[in-house]
Amino acid sequence: MSEHTITVAGVAVDTRHWIGGERVASAQTFPDVSPIDGSTIGEISRGTGMEAAAAVAAAKAAFPAWAATSRAERARILHAIADGVEKRIEELSIVETTDNGALLRSHRRGVMPRVAHNFRFFADWLLKLEHEDFETRGHTNHVSWDPAGPSVLITPWNAPLMLATWKVAPALAAGNTVILKPAEWTPLTASLLADIAAEAGLPAGVLNVVQGYGSEIGDALTSHPDVRRISFTGSVPTAKRIAESAAANLTPLSLELGGKSPLLVFADADLDLAVDLAVEQYDNAGQVCLAATRFLVEESVAEEFTRRFVEKAGQLTQGDPRGEATDIGPNIHPLQLEKIDGFVQRAVAAGARAVIGGHRKDGQYYAPTLLTAVAQDSEIVQEEIFGPVLTLQTFATEDEAVRLANDTRFGLAATLATGDPERAERVTAQLVAGTVWTNCFFVRDLQAPFGGSRHSGVGREGGTWSFDFYCDVKNTVTSPNGWNNHG
């Protein structure tokens, strides 16, 4: 076993970068720490501008051949990558859980199968991607999607491999080459993906994986003049820095950012359903960008809703995410835990009441929390926390509910509980959000557009929208005249 290989729950993981089809070590490393118990999993190669330049150069060199590869062959290789993921679901699941603290049962049953599906979906969508030709004054218009070039993909830590492949799969399907930079807190499954892709026959340089801190390698990637696309999922402040970095080269950006999404509960809703939807917002220890963290409940049912919510939330089991019965695991990092607790303590000091939770537990665990008596303009209502912290406010009228729901700088998602289909239609039409769920939550289909409004993002991912971003969309207009007569 190489000195650069670590063993995570029996799974060998290479800690070096993957550049141009080879493993590349850096002179320096950074520690990767498990949120489960705070132990150091291993030392990871810490990339700088040198590794960034090498990865972009490898992607640039590999681009012409990959772009010229037929759609059918690109799709075949993406399906082969999906096959490799499916063969290693158990390994990927235990490594991811160790690295980011999300539930092992969720990884096994949902997240890792979704990783494979990401590749299969975009492989299949590629083969049917087309726009019907149309005529203009007798001339034929033909729309095509041309590969754009090397693409930098910067991905978050809350669902590392799933969210990475959400970008990697369409970028590769489009004919682009990729430089993937995973979050420094969760780099391990990206390294395993490089192995799986190579085994599936993906040519060298088509997928490159570089690790490190954003300030040391991220800036070098996003400012590189040979990069043709940048896709980022993460925080608003980081997105602003990336946009500034990309501006010099006018590099197109896709940004999926934060959320402060509402859950609107009307008096005519099925309260048991509404409570189920509400408790679901603690998923992944609250580390979900789409989470409906602001409960807006009609006054007449607020007391009963709160009573039922407290009862059901009290049945959740918090602990080691590897346990089959665990519902809530740890938060990702001590810095994130500090941030979460800071939000809560400032809110309580300002007059908020913790109906449940409101405190840390041992290790990197934060008690599921619900705060009431919060002002609409308060920090706890307006800013993304990214932890198991929810707020509850009441409203008297439908108009007030919509006003409160839209009164943040975000617009990623919204969830609505009502028994009146006409009200649902009225309200959803007024909500500022990229995705709205009515009487459900987290129902996702890759052919649907996904993205945010306002400070929640720029652009849309999914289906043809992904290809529109990763490609240069071309229209070719052909005259019926001027052809030589060749008999």
Q: Is 451 part of any domain?
A: no
Asked if residue 333 and residue 409 are part of one domain, the reply reads yes
Asked if residue 460 and residue 419 are part of one domain, the reply reads no
Asked if residue 182 and residue 145 are part of one domain, the reply reads yes
Report the CATH number that the domain containing residue 114 is assigned in CATH: 3.40.605.10
Q: Is 484 part of any domain?
A: no
Number of domains in the chain: 2
Predicted confidence (pLDDT) at residue 423 exceeds the cutoff of 60: yes
Asked if residue 463 and residue 319 are part of one domain, the reply reads no
Q: Is 481 part of any domain?
A: no
Asked if residue 272 and residue 252 are part of one domain, the reply reads no
Q: Is 253 part of any domain?
A: yes
Q: What DSSP designation does 318 have? A: B
Note the pLDDT of residue 292: 97
Mean pLDDT confidence for 379-390: 97
Asked if residue 201 and residue 80 are part of one domain, the reply reads yes
Note the pLDDT of residue 99: 97
Angular region, 23: left φ>0, alpha ψ -120 to 50, beta rest: beta
Asked if residue 341 and residue 291 are part of one domain, the reply reads yes
Note the pLDDT of residue 484: 82
pLDDT tens readout for residues 126-163: 999 999 999 999 999 999 999 999 999 999 999 999 99
Asked if residue 316 and residue 188 are part of one domain, the reply reads no
Predicted confidence (pLDDT) at residue 110 exceeds the cutoff of 60: yes
Closest by CA position to 58, among listed 13, 32, 97, 23: 23
Closest by CA position to 66, among listed 250, 168, 207, 212: 207
Please check whether residue 354 is in contact with residue 370, taking contact to mean a CB–CB distance below 8 angstroms: yes
Closest by CA position to 182, among listed 257, 60, 100, 78: 100
H or E element that contains 199: helix 188-199
pLDDT tens readout for residues 453-470: 999 999 999 999 999 999
Mean pLDDT confidence for 322-338: 96
Mean pLDDT confidence for 437-444: 95
Main-chain dihedrals φ then ψ at residue 392, nearest 5 degrees: -130, 125
Q: Is 450 part of any domain?
A: no
Report the CATH number that the domain containing residue 390 is assigned in CATH: 3.40.309.10
Q: Among the options 256, 298, 384, 461, which is catalytic?
A: 256
Q: Is 412 part of any domain?
A: yes
**Is 440 marked active-site?**
no
pLDDT tens readout for residues 242-267: 999 999 999 999 999 999 999 999 99
421, burial (CB in 10 Å: exposed 0-12, middle 13-18, buried 19+): exposed
Asked if residue 246 and residue 325 are part of one domain, the reply reads no
Global confidence as pTM: 0.95
Q: Is 370 part of any domain?
A: yes
Asked if residue 274 and residue 250 are part of one domain, the reply reads no
Mean pLDDT confidence for 207-227: 95
- Which residues constitute the domain of residue 420? 262-438
For 282-295, letters b (16+ CB in 10 Å) and e give bbbbbbbbbbbbbb
Q: Among the options 51, 91, 96, 289, which is catalytic?
A: 289
Asked if residue 46 and residue 181 are part of one domain, the reply reads yes
Asked if residue 428 and residue 341 are part of one domain, the reply reads yes
Say which residue the tokens 């010099």 belong to: 248
Main-chain dihedrals φ then ψ at residue 72, nearest 5 degrees: -60, -40
Please check whether residue 440 is in contact with residue 462, taking contact to mean a CB–CB distance below 8 angstroms: no
